[in-house]
Amino acid sequence: MEPATLIGSITLFVLAIFLGFELITKVPSMLHTPLMSGANAISGISVVGALLGANVAYDGGNTVVSGILAFVALTLAMINVVGGFAVTNRMLNMIAGKKRRG
């Protein structure tokens, strides 16, 4: 990787960290859980990316390292997606319970 590309990538990564921190700290605590659970559920795009990355690496012939990395990426992405749906479902059940009682 060329130094200019590496510096640009690191700069973009650092800016994304600062932007993410600023956005998260500005969200009121009442909205934090619904927004995060929705974001986790939407992150199913990571699952597709892990599958595509595994396929590209497999076609390249480096199956041991690519298989391990693809499995780890796919596992973590699926935990994120399932957790997002579980938290969202729990919140919706809490809201539905209040509507029935009230």
Reading the chain (102 residues) residue by residue, the pLDDT tens digits are: 788 888 998 999 999 999 988 887 887 777 777 777 767 767 778 888 878 877 776 776 767 877 788 888 889 888 888 888 888 788 778 877 766 665
Cα three-residue angle 64-65-67, rounded to 5 degrees: 65
Contacts of residue 67, Cβ cutoff 8 Å, sequence gap at least 6:
54, 57, 58
CA atoms of 102 and 97, how far apart (whole Å): 9
Indicate the domain borders of the chain: 29-101
Give the pTM. 0.58
